[in-house]
Amino acid sequence: AQKVTQAQTEISVVEKEDVTLDCVYETRDTTYYLFWYKQPPSGELVFLIRRNSFDEQNEISGRYSWNFQKSTSSFNFTITASQVVDSAVYFCALSDYKLSFGAGTTVTVRA
């Protein structure tokens, strides 16, 4: 069975600090996809990034970066120089025939 664990329940930082969100997953599949979604206070779910299991290259997109390590089944996500608008719940998700979501990490960025 697919499982996604986000051990951090809440993270609070001051603006301009970096925030790293941890995600650990379990799957028996050899091909799978990992995602990060953001849910701001307004409630919608916003897609951030998608990664396939064959591509372990870590990337940076603007203030977002991610670190995918297949050996440790981790897919961590970093927000650099956080801003108040980054305050949201962040979900890591794993796909097979559906998306399995972690419990989410609430990020609060204080001015």
What is the residue-wise DSSP string for 64-104? Answer: EEEEEEGGGTEEEEEESS--GGG-EEEEEEEESSSEEE---
- Nearer to another protein by Cβ, of 13 and 24: the residue is 24
Nearer to another protein, 4 or 19 (CB): 4
Quick check: helix, strand or coil at residue 13?
strand
Question: Closest CB to another protein among 87 and 95?
Answer: 95
Query: From the CB of 17, what's the least distance to another protein, in Å?
Result: 27
Compute the least distance from the CB of residue 46 to another protein, in Å: 8
Contact 5, 28 (CB under 8 A): no
Cβ(68)–Cβ(60) below 8 Å: no
Nearest Cα neighbor of 40 from 99, 91, 93 is: 91
- State the nearest-atom distance from the C-beta of 15 to another protein, in Å: 27
Least CB distance from residue 8 to another protein, whole Å?
15
Q: Which is nearer to another protein, 17 or 96 (CB)?
A: 96
Residues at the interface with another protein (CB under 8 A)? 32-33, 35, 37, 43-47, 50, 52, 91, 95-101, 103-104
